[in-house]
Chains A and B, each alone.
Chain A
Amino acid sequence: MTGLLLASIVLAHWAPPGAVPATPVERSAASADGDGAATSMGEETTRALQIAEVEVRGREQVSARQIGGILRREGLVAGARVLWPADPRIARARDRLRATGYFKAVTLGLEPVAGRDDEVVLVLLLQERSSASLQEVYLGSSRMTPFHGGLSVVERNFLGRAVHIGGALVWGTLPTIAQSRRQQAYQLTAEVPRLGTAPLGVRGSAFVISSAEPYRVAGHENDPDPSLFRAVDIGRVGGTVGLTFPVLPTLTLGVDYRFERVDAIVPEAPMWVRPDGDVVPVDVGLRRGARRLTSVHFGLVWDARDDVVLAGKGARIAFDLQLSSPATGSQYEYVKLVIAGGYSFRMPWRHWLTPSFTGGQIAGRAPVFERFYAGDLSAWTPGRELGIRYSTRNPIDVLGTGIDNRTFGVLFGRLDLDYTIPLFRRARTRGVYGGDLFFGAGLFTLVGDANERRMRRLAGQRVAPLGFGANLGLRIDTAAGTFDISVGNVLRRTPL
Chain B
Amino acid sequence: MKRRRCLAAIVALPLVAMARPDTLPLRRAVFEEVGTSVVMTLSLPTLFRRYDKDALESIDSGFDTSLHFTIKLWQHGTRRLVGTRELLVRIRRDPWKQRYVVSARENGAWTKRTFTERDAAVAAAVRLDRVEVGSASALERGEGGPYYFVTVFAQRNPLEPPADFASSTAAAGRDLEWFGRLVDVLAGERAEAEETVQLRTNPFYLVAR
Contact = CB atoms under 8 A, between A and B. Distances in A.
B145 A13 contact: yes
Contact of A105 (B30, B53, B167, B189): B53
A428 interface: yes
Contact of B206 (A14, A21, A111): A21
Interface stretch (B7-15, B42-50, B113-121): B113-121
B180 A109 contact: no
A24 B187 CA distance: 49
Contact of A27 (B30, B35, B180, B191): B35
A117 B167 contact: no
B162 A95 contact: yes
Interface in A91-115: 91-92, 95-96, 99, 104-105, 107-112
Contact of A476 (B57, B120, B187, B207): B187
Interface in A45-91: 84-87, 90-91
Given A16-B147, A351-B166, A435 B95 contact: no
Given A16-B77, A25-B32, A350-B171, A109 B110 contact: no
Interface in A30-44: 31, 35-44
Contact of B32 (A22, A96, A108, A349): A22
Interface stretch (A175-183, A284-292, A367-375, A417-425): A417-425
A24 B207 contact: yes
A112 B96 contact: yes
A27 B77 contact: no
A441 B60 CA distance: 51
Given A24-B207, A95-B162, A422-B165, A19 B114 contact: no
Contacts of B181: 424
B76 interface: yes
B180 A424 contact: yes
Contacts of B101: 85
B75 interface: yes
The contact size tier of chain B is 35 or more
B38 interface: yes
Contact of A107 (B32, B58, B90, B171): B58
A23 interface: yes
Contacts of A25: 32-34
A8 interface: yes
B142 to A, nearest CB: 9
A437 interface: yes
A429 interface: yes
Interface of B: 26, 28, 30-35, 38, 53-54, 57-58, 60-64, 75-78, 90, 92, 94-96, 101, 103, 109-117, 120, 124, 130, 143-147, 157, 159-162, 164-167, 169, 171-172, 176, 179-181, 183-184, 187-191, 194, 202-207
15 contacts: A12-B75, A16-B76, A18-B26, A21-B31, A21-B207, A22-B205, A23-B31, A38-B112, A39-B113, A85-B63, A109-B62, A112-B96, A125-B57, A350-B171, A427-B191
Interface of A: 8, 11-16, 18-28, 31, 35-44, 84-87, 90-92, 95-96, 99, 104-105, 107-112, 117, 120, 123, 125, 127, 349-351, 421-432, 435, 437, 474, 476
